[in-house]
Amino acid sequence: MDLILFGPPGAGKGTQAQFLVETYGVPQVSTGDMLRAAVKAGTPLGVKAQEIMARGGLVSDDIVLGIVAERLAQDDCSSGFVLDGFPRTIPQADALDGILKQAGRAIDHVVSLEVDSEEIVKRLSGRRSCPSCGKGYHVVFDAPVKADVCDVCGTGLVQRADDQEDTVRNRLLVYEQQTAPLKEYYQSKQILCSIPGIGPIAEIQQRIAAALEK
Protein backbone atom coordinates (compact mmCIF):
# COMPACT_ATOMS: atom_id res chain seq x y z
CA MET A 1 0.00 0.00 0.00
CA ASP A 2 1.59 3.27 -1.17
CA LEU A 3 0.10 6.07 0.94
CA ILE A 4 0.47 9.80 1.46
CA LEU A 5 -0.56 11.33 4.79
CA PHE A 6 -1.40 14.88 3.92
CA GLY A 7 -2.31 17.96 5.94
CA PRO A 8 -0.93 21.15 7.49
CA PRO A 9 1.91 21.06 10.04
CA GLY A 10 0.48 19.95 13.38
CA ALA A 11 -2.45 18.05 11.86
CA GLY A 12 -1.25 14.84 13.53
CA LYS A 13 0.44 13.24 10.52
CA GLY A 14 3.31 11.82 12.58
CA THR A 15 0.94 10.30 15.15
CA GLN A 16 -1.37 8.76 12.56
CA ALA A 17 1.59 7.56 10.48
CA GLN A 18 2.61 5.41 13.46
CA PHE A 19 -0.84 3.80 13.44
CA LEU A 20 -0.59 3.08 9.71
CA VAL A 21 2.90 1.60 10.16
CA GLU A 22 1.54 -0.79 12.79
CA THR A 23 -1.66 -1.61 10.91
CA TYR A 24 -0.28 -2.12 7.41
CA GLY A 25 3.34 -3.06 8.20
CA VAL A 26 4.82 -0.40 5.93
CA PRO A 27 7.52 2.12 6.90
CA GLN A 28 6.90 5.79 7.63
CA VAL A 29 8.90 8.08 5.37
CA SER A 30 8.99 11.54 6.94
CA THR A 31 10.97 14.18 5.07
CA GLY A 32 10.86 16.45 8.17
CA ASP A 33 12.49 13.69 10.27
CA MET A 34 15.10 12.96 7.59
CA LEU A 35 15.96 16.66 7.25
CA ARG A 36 16.17 17.13 11.04
CA ALA A 37 18.53 14.12 11.21
CA ALA A 38 20.72 15.71 8.51
CA VAL A 39 20.76 19.02 10.43
CA LYS A 40 21.70 17.23 13.66
CA ALA A 41 24.47 15.26 11.92
CA GLY A 42 25.78 18.49 10.33
CA THR A 43 25.91 16.96 6.81
CA PRO A 44 26.31 19.42 3.87
CA LEU A 45 22.60 18.92 3.10
CA GLY A 46 21.71 19.59 6.74
CA VAL A 47 23.74 22.80 6.75
CA LYS A 48 21.84 23.99 3.65
CA ALA A 49 18.43 23.06 5.12
CA GLN A 50 18.90 24.35 8.67
CA GLU A 51 18.22 28.05 8.20
CA ILE A 52 15.24 27.49 5.87
CA MET A 53 13.66 25.05 8.34
CA ALA A 54 14.19 27.36 11.31
CA ARG A 55 12.07 30.05 9.66
CA GLY A 56 9.43 27.63 8.42
CA GLY A 57 10.19 27.83 4.69
CA LEU A 58 10.40 24.93 2.28
CA VAL A 59 13.71 23.24 1.50
CA SER A 60 14.37 23.13 -2.26
CA ASP A 61 12.59 20.49 -4.31
CA ASP A 62 15.97 19.16 -5.57
CA ILE A 63 17.24 18.43 -2.06
CA VAL A 64 14.01 16.85 -0.87
CA LEU A 65 13.53 14.77 -4.02
CA GLY A 66 17.08 13.44 -3.68
CA ILE A 67 16.49 12.12 -0.16
CA VAL A 68 13.04 10.73 -0.97
CA ALA A 69 14.19 8.89 -4.12
CA GLU A 70 17.03 7.32 -2.15
CA ARG A 71 14.73 6.31 0.71
CA LEU A 72 11.98 4.82 -1.48
CA ALA A 73 14.57 2.69 -3.28
CA GLN A 74 15.39 0.87 -0.05
CA ASP A 75 14.13 -2.71 0.41
CA ASP A 76 11.70 -1.96 3.25
CA CYS A 77 9.68 0.31 0.92
CA SER A 78 9.23 -2.41 -1.71
CA SER A 79 5.75 -3.37 -0.58
CA GLY A 80 4.55 0.06 0.47
CA PHE A 81 5.20 3.18 2.55
CA VAL A 82 3.48 6.03 4.35
CA LEU A 83 4.78 9.39 3.18
CA ASP A 84 4.53 12.06 5.88
CA GLY A 85 5.30 15.69 4.98
CA PHE A 86 5.96 14.88 1.32
CA PRO A 87 5.02 15.96 -1.33
CA ARG A 88 4.61 19.63 -0.37
CA THR A 89 4.64 21.22 -3.83
CA ILE A 90 3.19 20.33 -7.24
CA PRO A 91 6.70 19.71 -8.72
CA GLN A 92 7.39 17.29 -5.83
CA ALA A 93 4.11 15.46 -6.56
CA ASP A 94 4.93 15.24 -10.28
CA ALA A 95 8.42 13.95 -9.53
CA LEU A 96 7.02 11.37 -7.08
CA ASP A 97 4.66 10.10 -9.79
CA GLY A 98 7.67 9.75 -12.10
CA ILE A 99 9.76 7.84 -9.53
CA LEU A 100 6.89 5.44 -8.81
CA LYS A 101 5.96 5.00 -12.47
CA GLN A 102 9.49 3.83 -13.24
CA ALA A 103 8.98 1.12 -10.63
CA GLY A 104 5.51 0.22 -12.03
CA ARG A 105 3.82 1.71 -8.96
CA ALA A 106 1.45 4.55 -8.14
CA ILE A 107 0.07 6.20 -5.01
CA ASP A 108 -3.01 4.26 -3.83
CA HIS A 109 -4.49 6.76 -1.35
CA VAL A 110 -3.91 10.27 -0.09
CA VAL A 111 -5.33 10.73 3.42
CA SER A 112 -5.82 14.42 4.15
CA LEU A 113 -6.18 15.39 7.83
CA GLU A 114 -8.30 18.53 8.15
CA VAL A 115 -7.51 20.83 11.09
CA ASP A 116 -8.15 24.58 11.26
CA SER A 117 -5.32 27.10 11.68
CA GLU A 118 -6.09 28.32 15.22
CA GLU A 119 -6.15 24.74 16.53
CA ILE A 120 -2.77 24.17 14.86
CA VAL A 121 -1.21 27.26 16.43
CA LYS A 122 -2.44 26.02 19.85
CA ARG A 123 -1.12 22.50 19.23
CA LEU A 124 2.31 23.43 17.89
CA SER A 125 3.21 26.42 20.03
CA GLY A 126 2.58 24.31 23.18
CA ARG A 127 4.57 21.30 21.95
CA ARG A 128 7.72 20.38 23.92
CA SER A 129 10.04 17.38 23.89
CA CYS A 130 12.82 15.87 25.91
CA PRO A 131 16.18 16.22 24.10
CA SER A 132 17.49 13.23 26.02
CA CYS A 133 14.85 10.45 25.80
CA GLY A 134 12.64 11.95 23.07
CA LYS A 135 9.34 11.88 25.02
CA GLY A 136 6.85 14.45 23.72
CA TYR A 137 4.65 16.78 25.84
CA HIS A 138 2.19 19.64 25.44
CA VAL A 139 2.11 22.49 27.96
CA VAL A 140 -1.72 22.33 28.15
CA PHE A 141 -2.93 18.97 26.80
CA ASP A 142 -0.14 16.70 28.08
CA ALA A 143 1.91 18.66 30.63
CA PRO A 144 4.80 17.11 32.59
CA VAL A 145 4.35 16.83 36.37
CA LYS A 146 7.01 19.50 36.94
CA ALA A 147 6.88 22.37 34.43
CA ASP A 148 9.51 22.11 31.65
CA VAL A 149 11.10 18.93 33.05
CA CYS A 150 10.84 15.41 31.56
CA ASP A 151 8.82 13.02 33.77
CA VAL A 152 10.90 10.07 32.58
CA CYS A 153 14.50 11.25 32.86
CA GLY A 154 14.42 14.69 34.54
CA THR A 155 16.01 16.53 31.58
CA GLY A 156 14.86 20.09 30.77
CA LEU A 157 12.31 20.12 27.92
CA VAL A 158 12.91 22.00 24.67
CA GLN A 159 10.73 23.57 22.00
CA ARG A 160 11.47 23.00 18.29
CA ALA A 161 12.69 26.33 16.83
CA ASP A 162 9.99 26.11 14.17
CA ASP A 163 7.21 25.60 16.76
CA GLN A 164 7.44 29.20 17.97
CA GLU A 165 4.18 30.99 17.22
CA ASP A 166 5.52 33.38 14.52
CA THR A 167 7.21 30.51 12.73
CA VAL A 168 4.10 28.31 13.00
CA ARG A 169 2.07 31.08 11.35
CA ASN A 170 4.66 31.29 8.56
CA ARG A 171 4.55 27.50 8.10
CA LEU A 172 0.75 27.71 7.80
CA LEU A 173 1.03 30.45 5.17
CA VAL A 174 3.54 28.38 3.20
CA TYR A 175 1.16 25.41 3.51
CA GLU A 176 -1.80 27.38 2.15
CA GLN A 177 0.19 28.82 -0.74
CA GLN A 178 2.31 25.88 -1.86
CA THR A 179 0.96 22.66 -0.38
CA ALA A 180 -2.85 22.96 -0.11
CA PRO A 181 -3.21 23.07 -3.95
CA LEU A 182 -2.10 19.43 -3.94
CA LYS A 183 -5.54 18.50 -2.61
CA GLU A 184 -7.07 19.36 -5.98
CA TYR A 185 -4.21 17.57 -7.71
CA TYR A 186 -5.04 14.31 -5.92
CA GLN A 187 -8.80 14.92 -5.97
CA SER A 188 -8.61 14.97 -9.76
CA LYS A 189 -6.90 11.55 -9.65
CA GLN A 190 -9.75 10.36 -7.35
CA ILE A 191 -7.40 9.11 -4.64
CA LEU A 192 -7.98 11.82 -2.01
CA CYS A 193 -9.92 11.10 1.19
CA SER A 194 -10.45 13.98 3.63
CA ILE A 195 -10.66 13.09 7.32
CA PRO A 196 -11.56 15.48 10.18
CA GLY A 197 -8.34 15.65 12.23
CA ILE A 198 -9.87 16.94 15.48
CA GLY A 199 -10.94 14.60 18.29
CA PRO A 200 -9.44 11.69 20.22
CA ILE A 201 -6.51 10.01 18.44
CA ALA A 202 -8.26 6.61 18.43
CA GLU A 203 -11.33 8.09 16.74
CA ILE A 204 -9.23 9.65 14.00
CA GLN A 205 -7.52 6.26 13.52
CA GLN A 206 -10.93 4.64 13.06
CA ARG A 207 -11.93 7.26 10.51
CA ILE A 208 -8.73 6.64 8.54
CA ALA A 209 -9.10 2.84 8.68
CA ALA A 210 -12.73 3.09 7.52
CA ALA A 211 -11.77 5.37 4.62
CA LEU A 212 -8.96 3.03 3.50
CA GLU A 213 -11.16 -0.05 3.67
CA LYS A 214 -13.81 1.48 1.42
Which residues are designated catalytic?
13, 88, 127, 160, 171
Q: Of all residues in this chain, which one has the CB nearest to ligand AMP in the complex?
A: 32
Least Cα distance to 168 among 115, 209, 105, 95 occurs for 115
Q: Which of 58, 72, 111, 204 binds ligand AMP (CB under 6 A)?
A: 58
Q: What single-letter amino acid sits at 116?
A: D
In the complex with ligand AMP, the residue whose CB is nearer, 135 or 151, is: 135
Closest CB 34 distance from ligand AMP, rounded Å: 8
Give the per-residue contact string, 174-193, with ligand AMP (x = CB under 6 A; - = no).
Answer: --------------------
In the complex with ligand AMP, the residue whose CB is nearer, 31 or 205, is: 31
Contact positions with ligand AMP (CB under 6 A) in 5-44: 9, 31-32, 35
Yes or no: say if 95 and 83 are a contact pair by the CB < 8 Å rule: no
Residue ranges of E strands in the chain: 2-6, 28-30, 81-84, 109-114, 127-129, 136-138, 192-196
Closest CB 134 distance from ligand AMP, rounded Å: 15
CA-to-CA dists, residue 211 to 17, 69, 113, 158, 208, angstroms: 15, 28, 12, 36, 5
- How far is it, in rounded angstroms, from Cα 107 to Cα 17? 16
Residue 107 sits at φ, ψ, to 5 deg, of -65, 130
Q: Which of 56, 95, 182, 195 binds ligand AMP (CB under 6 A)?
A: 56
Give the per-residue contact string, 97-136, with ligand AMP (x = CB under 6 A; - = no).
Answer: ----------------------------------------
Residue 139 sits at φ, ψ, to 5 deg, of -60, -25
Q: Which residues bind ligand AMP (CB under 6 A)?
A: 9, 31-32, 35, 52-53, 56-59, 64, 85-86, 88, 92, 162, 171
